[in-house]
Chain A
Amino acid sequence: METEDQTLVQDCLTENLDPAPIKDEYAPVIFSQETVSHIVSIDMMSGQQDLENILRARATGKGVLTSPFKLLKSNHLGVVLTFAVYNKDLPPDAIPEQRTEATVGYLGASYDVPSLVEKLLHQLASKQTIVVNVYDTTNASAPISMYGTDITDTGLLHVSSLDFGDPLRKHEMHCRFKQKPPLPWMAINASVGVLVITLLVGHIFHAAICRIAKVENDCREMMELKARAEAADVAKSQFLATVSHEIRTPMNGVLGMLKMLMDTDLDAIQRDYAETAHASGKDLISLINEVLDQAKIESGRLELEDVPFDLRNLLDSILSLSSDKSNDKGIESAVYVSDRVPEVVVGDPGRFRQIITNLVGNSIKFTQDKGHIFVSVHLVDEMKGTSDVGDKVLQQGLNLVQDMSSKTYNTLSGFPVVDRWRSWENFKMLNGKDAKDDPEKIRLLVTVEDTGVGIRLDAQDQIFTPFVQADSSTSRHYGGTGIGLSISKHLVELMHGEIGFASEPGVGSTFSFTGAFGKGEVSSLDSKWKQYDPVVSEFQGLGALIIDNRSIRAEVTKYHLRRLGISVDITSSLESACTYVSSIFTTSAFAHLAMILIDKDVWNQETVLQLRSLLEQHRKNCKLNVSTNLPKIFLLGTSMSPVERSKLKTSGFVDNVLMKPLRLSVLIACFQEALGRTKGKVRGKKMSTLGSLLREKRILVVDDNKVNRRVAEGALKKYGAIVTCVERGHDALNKLKPPHTFDACFMDLQMPEMDGFEATRQIRSAESEVNEKLASGEVSIEMYGNVSHWHIPILAMTADVIQATYEKCLKCGMDDYVSKPFEEEQLYLAVARFFESGL
């Protein structure tokens, strides 16, 4: 077998070597690798190391390794591994002699440690310089350094063992960095960075969670507070409801009692006390109502009605109610409605009245002892943009003119007032900014002008704020709670209008508001509004002459007279009146002249006598019949004592004295009396009138209480009614099922089994059923007594006179209520509604 002999690399080149001495044995290198070709033919046994190695290899049959020595060519430190090659397979337990016998050759490998290490290191190609030390550590205490420089301790040391295959020898490789490893800045920075980032992220999470927790907390708190606020609101409403019932019931009791007291015999002082108490009670009730209104408005529960009503009558009644107070103070009051405002409008008369009453009340309160309160109503259209204003009052109102000679202004009383247009200059409606211009709606502008103390400039902003007075001393001096204007503002806004004012301290205040109303038909008016129609026409075509130096005042009087169909001429002084009268003597105008109205301001006794004699003279001259009526002369005055009045009347200077503010009903009565017409009933004793209303009427009384029934029956029978009594609601139902012959029903509210409300509801539903059938022609009208529409007036009898009950009564179909026990006046008023209108 041919083997390749890996042999040693000896110290030196072949040329320098001596030929081998004569020996027993030789171990020449026959074959070698290219790299160690210089050791060919060198006797391996010549080196001591090699010799030992060969011998051992031969003897053990294993690979053996020399200790490090310098190799031949390269002079590097190295080791040689020698294997013996045998010519036959030897058993493992063969003795060395046998092995020596069997040896045919040797196989050797040299390890050039430096180059080995460097080649290895080269492969590593590390960035840091590594110092490698290779040791032969066969002798542990004295390691032989095979490769590497001197040791510098740089800390980290990595020891790995090298196995060349010879178990006898141990080799180790020590690796260490040449330089001490620098601080690992990257790692430090990175870890610090990561740490910081983690901390930050952790902090963010923590903050977020804290914030969420806090917000949740706050939310919960808010929910609690909200629940408490809602509970408080509910409590407030309940309180108000309780208060309204609890306070108003006894208050009504008090008022009722006072009324009854005033009906009895009282001397003057007692009557005065009673009346004062009654007035205070009424004030208190209206105050409570105001506060409740405010609360209702705040909670948005106020609703407006939609009924047709007559504006002019309403204003008349408002002004006459407050006329006592204003006349006592010597203030003149007047109302004027423009011709262009229709007779009937559709809206909420009660609330409209409330607003105007509030404004007029304020005016009276804050006007001391001079001047006037003037309420005027115009259409918004009259004000819009047109340069020529048709209405005389408006014209004058827009141009305040001072008469230099008499130092008076062209206002109602002569005293200066604030420019009224300033009170509506901000209104959107008038500036044309109001987008929706509903042609179906009538927009009215109401102005209340007074010559009072005015409103302080710094208080003007707060004037519509509830519970705030212009001055802390206001409620002390003038009284009031400060809610009126706030309520009025809200009501105006509910009417789709605006409210504003202009005021100057020392001059006066003018409040204006607008409102939208529907168009109404004259025929749709409720009977209580249509009081004067049949009478109005009797004055048609008559003529009148007004003598008044204030043109606005004259216009107001003219307005009232025109409502009665009387045509009017105005002169401003008695002298010019005489001239005028003389001038029309021969015309037909004189024939129509039925009355001359003279204002107190121009009253002059002598001149009036002159006028009178002038008229008489004319009558004589025309040879007219003495019985031809001369024009009647009336005096118009504001505040006059009854004594003065009767004196004037009896003296014969005037036919009558008319007190301002003028009221249509008063005018009619006066004129009727003066002109000798006695048409129209005189409401004398109420009892006879009640009797005439109730005579022969069939009335059903429903009450579970025997005593009440008996008393009610007795009272009604006294007036001539035919009374039937029943005890239960059911019986009432049976009796009032159409067709029946009853004219009215008085129903107790609280009854067992079926109460008054339920009974009324059922009666009404039975009636509407029948009415429907009649209307659709399902049944013939003869079957139902020739009555096409069944609606029996049902009046509730109740001891509880509260607003809520009244509303409930109306809701289930009742027509009105009377108090129990019967009060004559109230009974009359209630019954008159149904029987007067010709039921």
Chain B
Amino acid sequence: MDLAALKTQLKNFVQSMFEEGVLDNQFSQIQALQDSTNPNFVEEVITLFCNDAERIINEINRNLGYQNVDFSNLDSYVHQLKGSSSSIGANRLKLACANLRQASDERNKEGCLQALQLITCEYCLLRRKFQALLHLERSIVELETNQK
């Protein structure tokens, strides 16, 4: 596939993510930050985010597995995940975090579990899409370096 087509594909892919609400404007800001001085910015941020998010989701899972759930602990994890999501522009994930926050405030374990389910779902979707995106990007970079 040639470079232009790949680039268009990438652009459309990201656009579709915007339209679905998976990503928001913040992500495009991050994309804008990538330039010659910062060539791998997007990839770096995505990787950081995924590692961090997985860690947090596991922690939350563990927390909710206990008989007596420590809701304040839970709350600080959710806050972190929400912060990361909003920094990278992961819109749906951020909203799902808000749900979990709400349930945690209400000390509603059932609600928390449900919200966590949603978060996990959203995160998996996001990760899949990010992986596809990164794959596309790497292909583009490869092509570009090959062309040079």
Please report A residues at the B interface, Cβ cutoff 8 Å: 260, 263-264, 704-708, 710-712, 714-715, 717-718, 750, 752, 799, 820-822
- Spot the interface stretch: B44-52, B115-123, B134-142: B44-52
Contact of A821 with B37 at beta-carbon distance under 8 Å, contacts A708-B87, A710-B48 already known:
no
Within 8 A of A (CB), among B1-41: 24-26, 29-30, 32-33, 35, 37-38, 41
List 11 extra interface pairs beyond A711-B87, A717-B33, A821-B26, CB under 8 A. Answer: A264-B25, A705-B87, A707-B45, A707-B48, A708-B83, A708-B84, A712-B87, A714-B38, A717-B37, A718-B35, A750-B83
The answer to whether B82 and A706 have CB atoms under 8 Å apart is: no
Shortest Cβ gap from A342 to chain B (Å): 46
**Which residues of chain A have C-beta atoms less than 8 A from B26's C-beta?**
821
With A714-B41, A821-B29 known as contacts, the answer to whether A707 contacts B82 (CB < 8 A) is no
In the complex, are the beta carbons of A711 and B25 less than 8 A apart? no
Q: Point out the residue from A707, A714, A799 that lies within 8 Å of B33, measured CB to CB.
A: A714
Contacts of B86 in A (CB 8 A): 799, 820-821
Q: Does any Cβ of A come within 8 Å of B80's Cβ? A: yes
Residue pair B33, A706 in contact (C-beta under 8 Å): no
Find the B residue at minimum CB distance from A748. Answer: B83
A715 neighbours in B (Cβ, 8 Å): 29, 33
Shortest Cβ distance from residue A758 to the other chain B in the assembled complex, whole angstroms: 16
B residues 37-92 near A (Cβ < 8 Å) are 37-38, 41, 44-45, 48-49, 52, 76, 79-80, 82-84, 86-89
Q: Which B residues are in CB contact (< 8 Å) with A260? A: 24-25
Within 8 Å by CB of B52, from A263, A706, A712, A714, lies: A706
The 6 closest A-B pairs by CB, nearest first: A707-B84, A714-B33, A711-B87, A708-B87, A707-B49, A705-B83
Q: A752–B83 Cα gap in the complex (Å)?
A: 14
Q: Is the interface on chain B under 10, 10 to 19, 20 to 34, or 35 or more residues?
A: 20 to 34
A313 to chain B, nearest CB (A): 34
| A710 lies within 8 A of B25 (CB) | no
Please tell me which one of the listed residues B25, B29, B52 contacts residue A705 in the complex, with CB atoms under 8 A apart: B52
Q: Which residues of A contact B30 (CB under 8 A)?
A: 711, 714
A714 touches which one: B45, B79, B82 (CB < 8 A)?
B45
Cβ B38 vs Cβ A705 within 8 A: no
Query: What are 10 pairs between A and B in contact, CB < 8 Å?
Result: A705-B83, A707-B48, A707-B83, A708-B87, A710-B44, A714-B30, A715-B33, A799-B82, A821-B29, A821-B87
A263 vs B24: C-alpha distance when bound (angstroms): 13
A752 touches B33 (CB 8 A): no
Give the CA-CA distance A92 to B25 in the complex, in Å: 153
Residues of B within 8 A of A717 (CB): 33, 37-38
User: Smallest CB-CB separation from A687: which chain B residue?
Assistant: B32
> Do A752 and B88 touch across chains, with their CB atoms under 8 A apart?
no
Q: Is the CB of B29 within 8 A of A706?
A: no
Q: How far is the CA of A799 from the CA of B87 in the complex (A)?
A: 10
* Residues of A contacting B33 in the complex (Cβ-Cβ under 8 angstroms): 711, 714-715, 717-718
Q: Within the assembled complex, what's the spacing in Å between the Cα atoms of A525 and B29?
A: 37
Q: Is the CB of B88 within 8 A of A711?
A: yes
Chain A hits for B83, CB < 8 A = 705, 707-708, 750, 799, 820
Assembly CA distance A708 to B90 (angstroms): 12
* Distance (whole angstroms) from the CB of A257 to the closest CB of chain B: 9
Q: Please name all residues of chain B whose beta carbon is closer than 8 Å to the beta carbon of A263 when the two chains form the complex.
A: 25
Residue of A nearest to B35 (CB): A718
Within 8 A of A (CB), among B76-118: 76, 79-80, 82-84, 86-89
Closest A residue by C-beta to B50:
A707
Report yes or no: B45 in contact with A752, Cβ–Cβ below 8 A: no
Contacts of A752 in B (CB 8 A): 76
Q: Are B87 and A707 in contact (CB under 8 A)?
A: yes
Chain B residues, Cβ within 8 Å of A714: 30, 33, 38, 41, 45
When chains A and B are docked, how far (Å) is the Cα of A708 from the Cα of B30? Answer: 11
Contact yes or no, A750 B79, CB < 8 A: yes
CB contact under 8 A between A705 and B84, given known A260-B25, A711-B30, A715-B29: yes
CB-based contact B45/A705 at 8 Å: no
Q: Give CA–CA (A715, B37) in the complex, Å.
A: 12
Inter-subunit contact A707/B79 (CB<8 Å): no
Residue of A nearest to B45 (CB): A710
Q: In the docked arrangement, what's the CA distance between A704 and B84, Å?
A: 10
- Are B37 and A820 closer than 8 Å at their CB atoms? no
A-side contacts of B52, CB under 8 Å: 705-707
Q: Which residues of A contact B37 (CB under 8 A)?
A: 717
Q: Pick the contact of A706 from B25, B48, B76 — CB < 8 Å?
A: B48
Scoring A260, A714, A820 by chain B CB atoms within 10 A of each residue's CB, the highest score goes to A714
Q: How far is the CA of A704 from the CA of B82 in the complex (A)?
A: 13
Most buried by B among A707, A708, A718, A820: A707
In the assembled complex, the Cα of A710 lies from the Cα of B76 at a distance in Å of 20
Q: Establish whether residues A704 and B38, one from each chain, have CB atoms under 8 Å apart when the complex forms.
A: no
CA distance A72 to B22 in the complex (A): 157
